[in-house]
Structure formats: structure tokens, C-alpha cells
Amino acid sequence: MVQEAFDAVAYEAHLRSLSEASVRLSFNAFTDVPWDDPAYAWREDDPQFVLSEADVIGAHPWYQALPLERQIAIGMFRFAQIAKVGRQFEQVLIGGMMHHLIGMRTGNPEFRYAMHEVTEETHHIQMFQEAVNRAHERFGIDPQGAPTYFQRLAPFITQAGLYLPTVFFIGILAGEEPIDHLQKSMIRDGGRQPLISRIMQIHIAEEARHISFAHEWLAKNVAAAGPVKRFFLSLAYPAAMWWLCSMIMKPTRRDLRAMGIPRRVAREMWWRSPASDAHRREMFGDVRLLADRLGIRRGPARLLWTLLRIDGRPSRYRGETHERDLAA
């Protein structure tokens, strides 16, 4: 696909639109989530915690054969684990964004929208952690979230916002797209437990703006890159998608043990079965669409997409619902 020409006027208009939307519609972590409503409480006998096939755990026959109480317990831990790793990723995102903005010129409209995004991400972090706190207080659930190595490297990863900004924005998409895809799939399945559904609704609504900004920022900056840098970015793009998807979506060994998922079953869930491969490919329809728009999913890069098993048909438009082909 031929790379689209970049339109600077349309880009600035898009930034203004995103900034104005952030003012018109925004959420507060503690006033827009009814934390103390009895209907939103976590209960160990609540079947709404059973994972649907939108999640690779819920789609696996091992999980589906478990007694209801075990399905509920694993579902509760899984929601807490995703919330914990989402909180940790967004902390890194904020740190990198602050490095990215520190020397930005006066009058750049990117600064205003980026700060709206950071403000919203702080509320997401508080929502996610408060959900984990409730699970811990009620049931002793204490997920690790991100792997230890990621937590220790986080202060250094944030430096990419200053020194490797294009790679940093690729990383933003690589982290945001899988969680956004999973949450949308769960909502389409009819939602989950009321508290979890409310958190997902808020996150999806605001994350749409964040993902849109990352798409347009990359369109601007990849268009301005020379051939050597473009070649490097064409390889970094699928590699970052594969790495961060696995880091965010696959629980750590400690969390797998806490859920009681055998290692053999975990290997099938992530990503050594046709069904799990189909789940992972689904997550990246939108990022494949962007890669084609940028003209960086071809040549050696296309081979890397295939080797990482994240290639496939791009979305026809952002947010398209892809049919899950579990037999592929």
C-alpha cells in the first residue's frame, strides 16, 4: 500500500477536536464509578465473573470444564490482574509522555492534547488500582501484574519519550490496543460484573481519543522519516506489538500459579494453539490498518509480521469487529 500524504492542517484540526472532546466528556475515578453501591460489590458467588470466550482463558476447554466456583475465582483474579498490569503500563506511558513534552515549543497544539491524555490516564490508574484494592481487601487477591523485569526497567523505558519518541508512540499503541480490544470484546459479549463493566466503559470511551492521537502522531512523524529510519521503524513496529501484547495479556508465572493454571495449559493459551493465535491476530487489525497507511508493512517487515504470527487482514476502519475464527 502506498503511504498516505500527511496533511498538517487536518492534523492540527484533529488535535483541537480531541482537546475539545476531552473538555466536553471526561470522567473522574471516584465520582463516576459507584464504588460503594451494593450492586457493584465483588461477590464470590457472582457468575458474572465467569470469563467469556473474548479472553483466551475463557475460551480454553480446560477453563470451561471447571466447576462454576473455580471459574468465578479465576475470573476475579484475571480481572484484577489485567487492571494491575494496565495501571503499571499507564504509569510508564505518563512518565514517557512527560519526558516527551519537556522541551516542546510554545504553541504546539500537541502539548495541550497530550496533557488532557495524561490527566485522563491518572484517573484510569486510580480506577484500576481501586478495583485491585477492593479485590485484595475482600478476597486477598494480589496480582503481580507486569513481569518483574518490566517493573525494574520502567524508569529507563520512559526515557524513550525523549530520545526515541516515534518508538515510544509505537509502544503506546502496542500497549493500548490489546487491552482496548479485550475490553470491547467483553462489552460486546454482554458485559461483565457491574463494577468491571463500568470501569471498562469509561476506559474505552477515553482510550478511543488516546489511540486516535497516537495514530495521527505516527502518521505525521513516519511521513517525515528518512529511508533508514523508516526501515528501522518498520521492524520496531511489529516487534513492539508482539512484545507488549505478550507482556500485558499473558499473566506472570506467579499469577498463573495463583489462578491454578497448569503450565501446559498456559502454553496453549499463550500462544501455542490455533485458537490462541486467532485471538492474538484479532487484536492487531487496527494496527495493521495503520501500518499499511504508513507504508511500513511490506518487504522484510512483512516477513517479521508473519514470523511473529500477528499478520492478517487489516481492519477496514478503526474499531471494526472481527469475527473470531477459532478453527483457523
Rounded Cα gap, residues 185 and 59, in angstroms:
12
Please identify every stretch of the chain with a pLDDT value under 50, giving residue numbers as ranges: 325-328
- Residue 31's nearest CA partner among 110, 130, 117 is 130
Which domains, ranges and CATH numbers included, belong to the chain? 8-34+45-307 (1.10.620.20)
Rounded Cα gap, residues 104 and 229, in angstroms:
22
- Residue 246's nearest CA partner among 296, 202, 291, 280 is 280
pTM of the model: 0.92
> What is the crossing angle of helices 194-223 and 109-139, to 10°?
150
- pLDDT attached to residue 323: 58
- pLDDT attached to residue 203: 95
- pLDDT attached to residue 325: 37
Name every residue whose Cβ is closer than 8 Å to that of residue 265 and which is 6 or more positions away in sequence.
60, 62
